[in-house]
Homo-oligomer: A and B are copies of this chain.
């Protein structure tokens, strides 16, 4: 929705030509902007409560700069995921000034995200090689306003390590579990937990993990109820859903 039509709309409302309801209805109309090669969703925050998040992989430098500048102007803050450090280094200067890059999580935040204020999301990893994916989930969660507690390398091969985790589980409102190889951790956590468990399979492992298919199937078949699954290595979506759930509370 372009600026002047918004102005016209609101003027019409003040002048009594439109009811409050009519204005609200109009605000749901064509809320996007046609860029050279992208159609940017400007009302996403209004509609879903979260601004559009840019998937940076395979985008050209120019596409990235164009999108972040357009969205940066329209929103309080904007996130980009899967941004390689090397790409960031190239485009860094052309981005809006207020931004921060989280290298390990490969996340870019343009603008002013809210402070983490809503009660705990717990992010667990089965192994230490699962950490980058877990960081993607955790950073997204924090940038969307949630407090995050992390706990790494507590996979089922040493089940007693869960002792440290259990008190944290009691404090959490949602749990994100990141695991590769056999992907068995979410089943165990699901059986011990009172809150929803979001399982993230990772592509870590020996031959027959098939780049994440093995833990993906394990998680879909988790024998404990309460476990739900996102795509392989998709830490972002896990963090996003955790935030949606937490916000509901």
Contacts and interface: CB of A to CB of B under 8 A. Distances in A.
Interface of A: 6-7, 10-11, 13-14, 20, 23-24, 27-32, 34, 37-41, 43-44, 47-50, 52-53, 55, 57-59, 63, 67, 126-129, 131, 151-164, 173-174, 181-184, 187-188, 190-196, 198, 201, 203-234, 236-237, 240-241, 244-246, 248-249
9 contacts: A6-B24, A28-B160, A67-B128, A156-B156, A157-B190, A157-B224, A182-B219, A215-B218, A245-B248
How many identical chains are in the complex? 8
B217 A210 contact: yes
Contacts of A24: 6, 10
A59 B128 contact: yes
Given A156-B191, A218-B184, A58 B129 contact: yes
Nearest to A23: B10
Given A44-B158, A182-B187, A209 B217 contact: yes
Contacts of A227: 237, 241
A208 B183 CA distance: 15
A194 B39 contact: no
Contact of A184 (B11, B184, B198): B184
A236 B209 CA distance: 16
Given A55-B127, A196-B245, A214 B220 contact: yes
Given A191-B157, A196-B248, A240 B218 contact: no
A210 B249 CA distance: 35
Given A38-B152, A184-B223, A193 B48 contact: yes
A59 B206 contact: no
A233 B207 contact: yes
A13 B24 CA distance: 13
A173 to B, nearest CB: 6
A223 B155 contact: yes
A214 B210 CA distance: 12
